């Protein structure tokens, strides 16, 4: 099971980049950041077994915070799912361990996809900046 720390570190760096952008650049890139935050929040809600509700648009200056919050929620949901999957089954259950493997696989896949998505957005931001200079 991968640890969420590398994903969280990358998401925090990306959130900081959004927080420090000038308004002119943020105006153009905020929709992509909000889409990322919404995707991360949706995965967190799915891992928690909740109905997926869309993260609200609260303005361009909050996008960095929304990315960070959604990333932390996803990491917490992954940790909770991992803990719940490792809990002992009900007495007399014959399928011990089967739920844990499925949960591990799902959490691993979600964290991997989230990491790739964060890296892609960060790469696009870097490419956009270098292309303009």
Q: Please give the DSSP secondary-structure letter assigned to residue 87.
A: S
Given this model, what pLDDT does residue 86 score?
67
Given this model, what pLDDT does residue 132 score?
53
Given this model, what pLDDT does residue 95 score?
45
Given this model, what pLDDT does residue 33 score?
97
The average pLDDT across 81-108 equals 64
Q: pTM for this one? A: 0.83
Closest CA to 8 of 88, 85, 70, 84: 70
Give the whole-number percent of the chain exceeding pLDDT 90.
Answer: 65
The kind and range of the H/E element at 4 are none
Give the whole-number percent of the chain exceeding pLDDT 70.
Answer: 82
Count of CB atoms within 10 A of residue 19's CB? 15
Domain that holds residue 100: 5-132
Structure tokens at 91: 């007495």
Given this model, what pLDDT does residue 82 score?
80
Given this model, what pLDDT does residue 129 score?
57
Q: According to DSSP H, which parts of the chain are helical?
A: 5-20, 23-47, 63-86, 98-132
Sign of CA dihedral 123, 111, 114, 13: negative
The number of folded domains in the chain is 1
Count of CB atoms within 10 A of residue 66's CB? 24
The average pLDDT across 32-53 equals 95
- CA distance linking residue 4 with residue 16, whole number of Å: 18
Helix (H, G, I), strand (E, B) or coil at 21: coil
């Amino acid at each position: 099971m991968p640890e969420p720390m590398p994903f969280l570190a990358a998401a925090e760096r990306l959130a900081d980049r959004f927080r420090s952008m000038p308004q002119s650049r943020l105006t153009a890139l905020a929709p992509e950041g909000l889409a990322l935050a919404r995707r991360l929040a949706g995965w967190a809600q799915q891992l928690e077994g909740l109905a997926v509700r869309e993260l609200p648009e609260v303005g361009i200056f909050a996008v960095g915070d929304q990315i960070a919050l959604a990333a932390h929620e996803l990491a917490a949901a992954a940790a909770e799912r991992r803990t719940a999957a490792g809990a002992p089954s009900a007495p007399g259950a014959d399928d011990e361990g089967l739920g844990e493997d499925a949960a591990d696989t799902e959490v691993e896949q979600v964290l991997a996809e989230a990491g790739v998505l964060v890296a892609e957005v960060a790469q696009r931001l870097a490419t956009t900046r270098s292309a303009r200079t």
